[in-house]
Amino acid sequence: MSDANVRIPEEARDRLAAIAAAEGMSLRAYLARLADTLLTPAERAERAEQARAALEEWTGYAPTRAQEQDLDSELDRRLAEAGAR
């Protein structure tokens, strides 16, 4: 396995190092574990499609793309409203 150098602000490095140390890990091991737990955009899209298909099979609910967009907009509005409180 080869190493890579990543340039980040010193404050971010120190914060990540502190989090890693609190979990008994080196920064290198912590970042490797973090990378293993995050999904790429393609992986997220694949999982979302799998969830949508499972819900459709289970409930019979199959919203159109326009309905999905309306629901997304409503969720965004509610999250913005909650964040403003």
pLDDT tens across 35-54, in order?
999 999 999 999 999 999 99
pLDDT tens across 68-77, in order?
999 999 999 9
The C-alpha angle 5, 10, 15, rounded to 5 degrees, equals: 100
What is the structure's pLDDT at 76? 96
pLDDT tens across 4-21, in order?
898 999 999 999 999 999
Average pLDDT along the chain: 94
| Surface-to-core class of residue 69, CB atoms within 10 Å of its CB (0-12 exposed, 13-18 middle, 19+ buried) | exposed
In this prediction the pTM is 0.59
